[in-house]
Structure 1
Amino acid sequence: MDAPDWPAIDALNMRLPLPDKRFVAQDAALLADGLHYEVRIGERGRIATRAENWHDLFNALVWMRHPAIKLALNARQCRHIATMGPHRRNRAQAALTQFDETGLVVRVRDAGLLAAWDRHDWRALFVDGAAQWRSGGIAVAAVVGHALLEQALLPGRLLVGKCVVVLGDDDAAGVARVAEAIVQGDVLDDPLQLRPLPLAGIPGWHAQQDAAFYVQTDYFRPLREGRVYPPGL
């Protein structure tokens, strides 16, 4: 990432810890197979990757860092494509895509913070709960969303992650639990199951986290009537 040139696909493949998957240049020859992007990965192990493209580079990095979650997302997408066909999408596919593009795994130890998050009490979550963020009582265990990483390239952008929550103290165990839950179909059946997390609210993330910052309702949005989130895994 510090090199002056874009990494070559061969360099990306050297870091991919999956022997049956490979990044492949997305060109006319590849697309001529007529396969859906996800089906091509599932059936042929070929991950279409555009050259010198931030979105696809970040996608490759997530494949390297969290292969179990990427495999789980792909397997679920392929099952739905087999049922729905390549040109129709259901609510579960929308949820899987949102998590793939903007998803986070958030580990929570303190049930009180989770209750504050449930009701979109952003001050309780970020200000009153600041010590918990600093001590690891709540933490972002994994960044899955490659589009979220791409948006972070834009200075001043206030980002919102879409989250699956795990309970406990171990980040790696929590990430593994999410991958298993995706495979089993225990999560991501509907986009409304994903919890929004305004990342700029995390203590230390944004330069001006004063009282006025946390009452910006266009970013720290109130809970919609009737919205209920699933419990943590």
Structure 2
Amino acid sequence: MAKTPGRNTSGRGQRDLKVKVRTAKGRKLSSTRWLERQLNDPYVQRAKREGYRGRAAYKILELDDRFRFLVPGARVVDLGCAPGGWLQVAVERVNALGTKPGKRVGRLLGIDLQEVEPLAGAEVHVLDFLEDGADDKVKAWLGGQADVVMSDMAAASSGHKQTDHLRIITLCEHAAFFAFDVLAPGGTFVAKVLAGGAEGELMHLLKKNFTKVHNVKPPASRSDSSEKFVVALGFRGRDADTRDARPGD
């Protein structure tokens, strides 16, 4: 079980020394730079200390600290949940294990295309959320509608910035339409996007279906990344105008 984050366990007065990585034979320069960045990333180090499955856990922690959507008793669906860092955060915050006396017990469902290491307090299924009937399966597993649908999914990188941007925006749009099918009125949708100029239609779609929509870059997102997150609050319900064509229609 992950420790409660936020406490500095490194000790004061210690000097952080930057780790230099030499380029090994057969290793690309880009791989060396990635390894060096990982070794020097404070969020990577903190995740190891606190028992999270990856630095991405701090992104959802920071978003929830600001917008408070992972509340005790909430029913949450995590799309593309591997390796499980967001699930770890949600288990504690929605009280999925019932460890907070007097608080409602939440329900947590993780969905991914690949097997995910089991996590106490979360139910994880291998499922393509784009397949026909996926929304009905999720609602059946969840025992009703969701209060939160969240996604840290990213399309496979092509190496071409604009192409990758369009791919992740399309993926986010698919996730949004899935959320329209499973969210209860008043629910929340959180998803990763990449800045790049094609977000307009997505934001228009979300603003029609939610009372408040925020475009946020949490501190845990690397400063040199174009990654941002949309946080859409107050789902208007299935009777709202969701008639925009789904991506690919």
Same fold by TM-score greater than 0.5: no
TM-score, normalized by length of structure 2? 0.24
Taking structure 1 as the reference length, what is the TM-score of the superposition? 0.26
Structure with the largest fraction of helix: 1
